[in-house]
Structure 1
């Protein structure tokens, strides 16, 4: 809270976690409805564009194509947040399990 200057903790979260993936709930620092910074627990990740989803939308953690119309609604300052983390899971192209890439944590 001191680093981000958040005024309140709405997340009820204070334990470190090694496994937060798209679809999981995790803490973020955002601007609340009253304009004050708060730590809130939200669903982690962004939805894939509908034309990409077949049966299940696992979500993504990085938006690489900022020119895509799908992402524009989330690029405004009201949708931005700070995500506290000490490592980030990246797809490891060298490891595949049942045809899917395995996420490998890398310290940041």
Structure 2
């Protein structure tokens, strides 16, 4: 899986292709570069049918990854002679999330593999970094870059993405109002 894709198709085309019944995206501007931690559209199952929503790209990191990162940070702070409250340091450890889920047999992913957490991620093209080619190499279904999708999973979660921001909750944005298209 890549760490960069584009979605330049409008929400009407996304809604038509995926038979969306509820839209919670407001205006969906073209996004020529979607990177990890960016908000972007997903199509998921809702109580009334398929929903078009936006979600932040990334799932919670494993407890092992967070523990390892916290230990490393604690060691650096202790080397500077600072007193460390490890429990608080762990609670506030930045979690940029995991963007590529390669091993669905890992127990870490089990809570989110059910139908209720499945989604599709619309895209028009994606890139893979290729050092030999001098950077990103873009791929699409054909030259016209038609709408396609990745399989994905989503969840609401609270974490520290950036230390200066503190805890934030990653949840798909819902923008229902009287003018929401249905």
**TM-score of Structure 1 vs Structure 2, range by shorter chain:** 0.7 to 0.9
Aligned partner of 1:94 among 122, 126, 131: 131
1:69 corresponds to which residue? Answer: 107
Matched, 1:24 2:62: no
2:48 corresponds to which residue? Answer: 35
Which consecutive residues of structure 2, in runs of 5 or more, have no partner in the other structure?
A: 1-14, 70-92, 141-182
Aligned partner of 2:118 among 64, 80, 90: 80
Going by fraction, where is helix more abundant, 1 or 2? 2
| CA distance in 1: counterparts of 2:127 and 2:115, whole angstroms | 25
Detail structure 1 runs of 4+ shifted over 4 Å in the superposition: none
- With the length of structure 1 as denominator, give the TM-score of the two structures: 0.76
1:57 corresponds to which residue? Answer: 95
2:57 corresponds to which residue? Answer: 44
Matched, 1:10 2:10: no
Q: CA RMSD in A?
A: 2.3
Which structure has more relative contact order (CA 8 Å, sep 6+)? It is 2
**Corresponding pairs, count:** 99
| CA distance in 2: counterparts of 1:4 and 1:18, whole angstroms | 21
Which consecutive residues of structure 1, in runs of 5 or more, have no partner in the other structure?
A: 96-102
The verdict on how the C-alpha distance between 1:78 and 1:62 changes in structure 2, with shifts beyond 3 A counting, is same
- With the length of structure 2 as denominator, give the TM-score of the two structures: 0.48
Give the structure with higher Rg (CA).
Answer: 2
Q: Is the 8 A contact 1:22 1:46 kept in 2?
A: no
